[in-house]
Structure 1
Amino acid sequence: MNYRIQCFASIAERIGQAELLLPADNDAIRVIELKQTLAAQYPETAELIMRSFVAANQQYAPDDSIVTPKDELAIIPPVSGGQGKAHPEGDLSQENHNEVSSANGRYCLTRQPIHTQAVEQKVSHPNHGATLTFSGTTREVTGDQRTQTLEYDAYVPMALQVMEQIGDEVDKRWPGTLSAITHRLGIVGIGEASVVISVSAPHRAGCYEASRYAIDRLKQIVPIWKKEIMADGSYWVEQDNWDPIARNDANYTDLHDQG
């Protein structure tokens, strides 16, 4: 048997494969040992592998947890977040599908332009007096760099599951609030929306707070990666000191300083 490990974004590009097969010498292995083995096999990518996370069955797995060859495994490099560090890379092939949604339809990944009104309609409720929609668009100039386009990659099933988790967290913190998230994959041009988050609530105060929480959590924990493409090259944007399991809904306090 083998450990079958899916790869994404910068890791997939550096090793030149979207999936790795690691011979299973034992029936189970600790996550840290799995990462160490991969790092030894791909020394040029070792530093990135060691600061990445492993997902087991679409859940982030701590380094001391145990995985088996039967688990669905993926190596998750740091997500783009709001602020990050550039890592020059090459190209990555795209997924075949154009749009997928969660079971309730409120969380979606698409390769098509996002229609803001369609996202807002997903949270329409007759008892809600406030609806707030956040749209994140591609900017052309950041500092002294000029972006031509952005490209997004995702671990699709896990990304949808985590987006739905964010919606559950929002409802737990602000009972009765509805949220919907649609995120682009693939190439996103200047001025186009890469993500639209719509939140509705009985009152505006909770709506503002829930909207900010949703975008901050998306940047922190959803396995979606952003590549900046410029005239003189491209790079994946990665968060420094990224740890998607350092905080959860129970001990969450404030992500506003993450940008």
Structure 2
Amino acid sequence: MQINIRLFAGLAELFSASSLKFQAPEAPLTAGGLKALLAAAYPEAAQQIHTSLVAIDHEYAPDETPVTEDSEVALIPPVSGGEPAVADGETADGMFIITGRPLNAEALLDKVLDQNHGASLVFVGTTREMTGDQLTTALHYEAYTPMALAKLQEIGNDVRSRWNANCAIAHRTGLVGLKEASVIIAVSAAHRDICYEASRYAIEKLKADVPVWKKDINESGEVWLGSDPKAKAYKSL
């Protein structure tokens, strides 16, 4: 059967394509089996394939998850990198946004304000110039937009259920220059200690689970953050 596989970040660069049509043996086929077949078919990409996760229909898929021709399959490299910008998107309620346009902290904060909440907090992650002795000129972000929005919404749902707090998140794609915002998280809650705790939870979950990648553009060249074990992940934060 033929499986259409979406590729991102370093894998897309390696294959010089954003998708791959792969002829696999007939069912049953699992996510783990698909990775093994891909690694065998493309030995030059085997290391990147082994360190990537499989997503099926916008959800991370354990190795035993069945794969069919109708599945929307994506190969997800370690998150935090970026290259070509993708289409803008947002959830139906407007609380979670992926966009190539500059982010607006005031507009995002307005989405979470509540007359019964006495505290609000806005976290802004920006591109910084220096990390140690390494100079950055810009970052370039890529996102798997449908899955990224679903994962951001999961974070918002977690924040509401755990702290009875409101949460909205916006993330940039494309080129993000020095001092520009790459991510904004707005939280409101009954008390300030809840706001701080919920905001920290949201950014840590975003860094771990949301399929967004970025490339560090610097005076020495370019490097994928997250895919290079020597690179510092999520440099802007």
Question: When the two structures are superposed, what TM-score results if normalisation uses the length of structure 1?
Answer: 0.85
Q: Does 1:148 align with 2:137?
A: yes
Shift of 1:93: 3.6
- Rounded to whole Å, the distance in 1 between the matches of 2:126 and 2:35 is 35
1:8–1:75 CA contact under 8 A, matched in 2 = yes
Aligned partner of residue 112 in structure 2, secondary structure: coil
Q: Which runs of 5+ in 1 are unaligned?
A: 82-90, 242-258
Q: Does 1:227 align with 2:218?
A: no
- Rounded to whole Å, the distance in 1 between the matches of 2:185 and 2:64 is 34
Residue of structure 2 in register with 1:63 after alignment: 63
Which moves more between the two structures, 23-32 or 99-108? Answer: 23-32
Residue of structure 2 in register with 1:217 after alignment: 205
Residue of structure 1 in register with 2:120 after alignment: 131
For this pair of structures, how many residues does the alignment match?
A: 230
Report the CA distance shift for 1:93/1:132 in structure 2 as closer, same or farther (over 3 A). closer
Residue of structure 2 in register with 1:85 after alignment: none
- The counterpart of 1:112, out of the listed 101, 126, 133, is 101
Shift of 1:45: 1.2
- The counterpart of 1:185, out of the listed 173, 181, 195, is 173
Aligned partner of residue 80 in structure 1, secondary structure: coil
- Rounded to whole Å, the distance in 1 between the matches of 2:14 and 2:37 is 16
2:31–2:65 CA contact under 8 A, matched in 1 = yes
Runs of 4+ in 1 over 3 A off after TM superposition: 91-94
Residue of structure 1 in register with 2:85 after alignment: 94
Shift of 1:28: 3.1
Residue of structure 2 in register with 1:30 after alignment: 30
2:84–2:141 CA contact under 8 A, matched in 1 = no
Shift of 1:24: 3.8
- The counterpart of 1:200, out of the listed 185, 188, 192, is 188
Deviations 1:71-126 (A, max 9, x none): 11000000029xxxxxxxxx94432x3x3111110000111111110110110111
Shift of 1:48: 1.0
- Rounded to whole Å, the distance in 1 between the matches of 2:217 and 2:223 is 7
Letter in 2 for 1:52: S
Shift of 1:15: 1.5
Residue of structure 2 in register with 1:256 after alignment: none
Shift of 1:54: 0.3
- The counterpart of 2:226, out of the listed 234, 238, 249, is 238
Shift of 1:239: 6.3
- Rounded to whole Å, the distance in 2 between the matches of 1:239 and 1:62 is 20
Q: Which runs of 5+ in 2 are unaligned?
A: 230-236
- Rounded to whole Å, the distance in 1 between the matches of 2:85 and 2:124 is 23
- Rounded to whole Å, the distance in 2 between the matches of 1:145 and 1:111 is 26
Shift of 1:22: 1.2
Identity across the alignment (%): 47
Shift of 1:240: 8.0
- The counterpart of 1:164, out of the listed 153, 160, 181, is 153
Aligned partner of residue 206 in structure 2, secondary structure: helix
Letter in 1 for 2:48: L
- Rounded to whole Å, the distance in 2 between the matches of 1:219 and 1:57 is 21
1:128–1:201 CA contact under 8 A, matched in 2 = yes
RMSD: 1.7
Question: When the two structures are superposed, what TM-score results if normalisation uses the length of structure 2?
Answer: 0.93
Residue of structure 1 in register with 2:232 after alignment: none
- Rounded to whole Å, the distance in 2 between the matches of 1:94 and 1:184 is 9
Residue of structure 2 in register with 1:10 after alignment: 10
- Rounded to whole Å, the distance in 2 between the matches of 1:39 and 1:17 is 17
- Rounded to whole Å, the distance in 1 between the matches of 2:83 and 2:139 is 12
Aligned partner of residue 135 in structure 2, secondary structure: strand
